């Protein structure tokens, strides 16, 4: 087993070359890394890093590779063809290759409710170029006025805002499904509605959610106040894939922070919201950098 620590993307790619990323999952076999290296080297590429995981109890091979890619020596069409042949050779369940500087950014939609902290943090990171995505639209069941800071930001950048008020008998899922068609994945930035199994099946792609780490001990209204009143010492946030079972999808990222008797309710809430923002952004970044693979029913491999 080869296991390297996670590192920044695009570490020192030589001039004239671009960064390529390959994510792979297949039945374990002898010679996979050798074939992968041969595939890249035969086209004039060079592996920058490789992270491999093979579970002790299952013959399944997982890998993520970063390599130099020169489009003058290796056309994008040939790149796709070569990795497709590699995938067929090893009967791969997953084989994804991207060249971030050439390939289109991921097209996403964001769903949010009343709370702005996760939504605006994502918008700010996107504006700063720190999230490799194109935001198709923002959908909310909360009506923000035109002079709201979120609405002003969206108008300034030409991102549509769709207000879809929900009711117990009408979750507006038909309209939501129409708006998110054509996206690569969807983000729930504190969207306080449960998506039905029918919508999940109809969409058929990944949906990433965030929730605070005060569950399951503090359910119902105002969990932060409940946790603060109970004197908890550790708070957290979890970002995960959405499945029909509420808040039980495979985990992508988790973060924690200590709190103490010195915290006020206000500082407690600020720390909790900051964790949610950071955790969700890191999960999206990991997903876009091809660091995330499904592992068993409820788990993920995150390189």
- Please give the positions annotated as active site: 247
Q: Is 39:65 a contact under the CB 8 Å cutoff?
A: no
Mapping DSSP to helix (H, G, I), strand (E, B) and coil, where does residue 111 land?
strand
Q: Is 240:209 a contact under the CB 8 Å cutoff?
A: yes
DSSP state of 296: T
Q: Is 205:136 a contact under the CB 8 Å cutoff?
A: no
Q: Is 270:287 a contact under the CB 8 Å cutoff?
A: no
E strand residue ranges, 30-163: 47-53, 60-69, 94-98, 106-112, 133-140, 161-163
Rounded CA separation 84/131 (Å) = 28
Q: How big is the chain, counted in residues?
A: 303
In Å, what is the CA distance from 45 to each residue of 15, 76, 128?
13, 13, 31
Rounded CA separation 19/98 (Å) = 9
Measured at the alpha carbon of residue 41, what is the angle toward residues 39 and 45, in degrees to the nearest 5?
A: 110
Closest CA to 81 of 120, 42, 53: 42
């Amino acid at each position: 087993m080869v296991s390297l620590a996670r590192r920044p993307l695009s570490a020192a790619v030589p001039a004239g070359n671009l960064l390529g990323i390959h994510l792979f999952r297949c039945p374990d076999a002898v010679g996979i890394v050798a074939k992968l290296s041969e595939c890249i080297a035969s086209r004039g590429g060079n592996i920058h890093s490789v992270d491999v995981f093979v579970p002790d109890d299952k013959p399944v091979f997982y890998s993520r590779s970063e390599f130099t890619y020169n489009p003058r020596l290796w056309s994008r069409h040939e790149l796709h063809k070569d990795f497709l042949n590699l995938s067929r050779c090893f009967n791969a369940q997953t084989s994804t290759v991207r060249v971030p500087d050439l390939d289109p950014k991921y097209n996403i939609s964001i769903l949010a409710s009343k709370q702005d902290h996760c939504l605006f943090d994502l918008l700010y990171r996107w504006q700063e170029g720190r999230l490799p995505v194109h935001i198709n639209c923002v959908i909310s069941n909360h009506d923000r006025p035109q002079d709201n800071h979120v609405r002003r930001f969206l108008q300034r950048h030409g991102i549509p805002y769709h207000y879809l008020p929900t009711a117990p008998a009408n979750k507006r899922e038909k309209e939501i499904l129409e708006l998110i068609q054509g996206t690569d994945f969807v983000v729930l930035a504190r969207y306080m509605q449960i998506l039905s199994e029918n919508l999940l099946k109809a969409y058929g792609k990944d949906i990433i959610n965030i929730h605070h780490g005060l569950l399951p001990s503090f359910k119902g209204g105002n969990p932060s106040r409940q946790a603060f009143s109970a004197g908890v010492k550790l708070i957290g946030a979890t970002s995960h894939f959405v499945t029909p079972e509420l808040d039980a999808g495979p985990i992508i990222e988790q973060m924690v922070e200590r709190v103490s008797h010195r915290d006020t309710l206000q500082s407690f809430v600020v720390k909790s919201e900051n964790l949610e923002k950071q955790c969700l952004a890191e999960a999206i970044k990991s997903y876009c950098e091809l660091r995330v693979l499904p592992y068993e029913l409820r788990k993920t491999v995150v390189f």
